Structure 1
Amino acid sequence: MTTLVHVSDLHFGRPAVAERLDALREFIEGIEPDGIAVSGDLTQRCTNREFAQASAYLGSLREIAPYVVIPGNHDIRWLGAVARNLGFAGLLRKGAHNFKYSRYRRHISDDLSPSLEVPGAVIAGLNTAHGISRGSLTKRFRDLGVIGHVKHADIQRVKAAFEAADPGAARIVMIHHNPIRGELSGRHGLANTEQALHSFSDLGTELVLCGHDHQDAVHTIEKGAHGLVISTAGTISNRIKPGRASSFNLVETDEDNLRIIAHSWKKGVGFVPSEDRSFPRRTLSRPT
């Protein structure tokens, strides 16, 4: 059995709640998982102070288990995203691109799309947070800078990570933006959802981890070569949807099954199991 903890949207800054962050770390320490997946939005305002707090917290988690982390839309500097799109003939584009992710890279990681393999599973992290960019534009003005998209180059990163992994390892993709329409928000997080999900499926992905919507949810869909399980983790912060609690997901996988257990915050008690879903693994349809 391989055990992974999937957390998202920590939002260090004013929305962060120390009591819940401490309880989450204690939970992780208690179960000693094989790995930890952190799907973005470490900060609220992308400040150096918030990133320093996030870095210290991730450091405490590293003492328990290896982790893989990607940026979210709150973790990039929007001015850099705008400047990159105004650049001419590449004169400003590279500098603006570096500026956009400069604080994330300084405090968290230079790798925006990292991978992590642990016994029984491989997690291919994929950066979908590009700010205001052509690939993320939609017809809705309120999506500006919030919606993400999957780049072809990052699909190739996923392919390489899967090809290098143990054949029996569960193939997992981690992105920040939710590819399934949120029940409460009514929005997709990705501008190119259909294309991305078909690509993930064709690469043999079994599970997609995401966040962004601040609402825990588990979905199954049929795309491409085979179906996908999509697990959305909620937020640990107080930026919760009405009627929802702070939450994270526990993922368990063995040779035959994939299990996702959502854990929600209960005042005075801590994080308790709130939903438990199991699915048969579809390893027979994996590309060779």
Structure 2
Amino acid sequence: MRYVFAMFKFAHISDIHLGPLPRLTMRELLSKRITGFVNWHRTRRKHLLVNTLDLLLSDMKDREPDQLLITGDLVNLATKIETRLAREWLDTIGEPADTTVVPGNHDAYVPGAHDKSVAAWYPFVKSDDDPGEWPKDDHIFPTYRERGPIAIIGCSTSNATPPFSASGYFSPRQARETVNLLKKAGERGLFRVVMIHHPPIHGAASSHKRMIGIRRFAAAISTGGAELVLHGHTHLNTVYELKTHNRPVPVVGIASASQGPGGHKPPASYNLFSLSGEPGNWNLVCERYGLTQAGDGIALDSSHVFYGDQPLPMPAIQPETVEIL
């Protein structure tokens, strides 16, 4: 099967970190959440702003993407109230069929939180052929959705970690199933977009925030084939590449969608991808829109051509600044 589309647009945001923090009980604080609670009040609450997120989403909606992809960290400490409010926020964005979510490390902040987050957000997470309710299955990832000319493969690196750690894990089982889904999508002539929270690149995150299973993920992409990988986690606007048996695969990160001006991380941004063409002759342009220096609007920040007449070279990796999580 071959697809030829005039244009299909999809947007990418990440690391929403919806605030403010709710009131926490003493029981909730007697866990890793105490470190996140302190970090929120010392740092994050000053720069992660709801009005910034609203500005970003309003500008993005005006550009009418066909699909929105969110690569994790919708919440901060994965409390019950945060998880419920994140679902309510997702419902305000649009229909679950038009938004695809994978979880991040903050969505699995303590043991048991990952499953509760996935259950609450399941309509926005699930594969096209999965049941309407969460089947209480830890193995729902990778997920698979087809939208127009693209196949969306959602991977999860989300797992609970000890205090002062924010690493992710990509398992052998998930790698095998990702290969199968990538091959399936390739046979259907679809443009394959892989979503994952942690950057699958050595050196892209500091050691306590790295993804465990990077080589396994790279092997899955090389074996199964893919056209684009999207991630979050670092709160940075980055473009890397993964070497494969064919051409390099772009790996694109994005700043936190709630990051206000004046912080040590780039202000809030989103990626808008415009895809046209057909298998073997894709044209993909990525425009990044970000918060202005004054913090009162959104403007075009940069433009990349990944597939087309003049694809841009991938820049070198820049290590991330370490911060307490």
Normalised by the size of structure 2, how large is the TM-score? 0.69
1:195 equivalenced with 2:216 (yes/no)? yes
Q: What residue number does 1:119 align with?
A: 148
Trace 1:264-275 onto structure 2 (pairs within 5 A). 264-266=290-292, 267-275=294-302
Secondary structure of the corresponding residue to residue 300 of structure 2: strand
1:206 positional shift: 1.1
Q: What residue number does 2:15 align with?
A: 9
Q: What residue number does 1:60 align with?
A: 92
Label 1:260 to 1:100 Cα distance change in 2 as closer, same or farther (>3 A): same
Q: What residue number does 2:117 align with?
A: 104
- Does 37-46 or 235-244 show the bigger shift? 235-244
Q: Which has the higher contact order (CA 8 A, sep 6+)?
A: 2
Structure 1: unaligned runs, 5 residues or longer: 81-98, 134-140, 282-288
Secondary structure of the corresponding residue to residue 285 of structure 2: strand
1:213 positional shift: 0.2
1:65 positional shift: 6.5
Q: What residue number does 2:172 align with?
A: 152
Secondary structure of the corresponding residue to residue 117 of structure 2: helix
In the alignment, the residues of structure 2 paired with residue 57 and residue 24 of structure 1 have an alpha-carbon distance, to the nearest angstrom, of: 14
1:204 positional shift: 0.9
Trace 1:1-288 onto structure 2 (pairs within 5 A). 1-14=7-20, 15=45, 16-63=48-95, 66-78=98-110, 80=111, 99-109=112-122, 110=134, 111-132=140-161, 144=165, 146-165=166-185, 167-180=188-201, 186=206, 189-238=210-259, 242=264, 244-255=266-277, 256-266=282-292, 267-280=294-307
1:189 positional shift: 2.9
Aligned residues: 252
Secondary structure of the corresponding residue to residue 239 of structure 2: strand
- Does 215-224 or 239-248 show the bigger shift? 239-248
Secondary structure of the corresponding residue to residue 212 of structure 2: coil
In the alignment, the residues of structure 2 paired with residue 38 and residue 261 of structure 1 have an alpha-carbon distance, to the nearest angstrom, of: 16
Give the % identical residues: 25
1:50 positional shift: 1.6
Residues 11 and 44, structure 1, Cα contact 8 Å, conserved in 2: yes
Residues 286 and 304, structure 2, Cα contact 8 Å, conserved in 1: yes
1:6 positional shift: 0.5
Secondary structure of the corresponding residue to residue 17 of structure 2: coil
1:268 positional shift: 4.8
Residues 189 and 212, structure 1, Cα contact 8 Å, conserved in 2: no
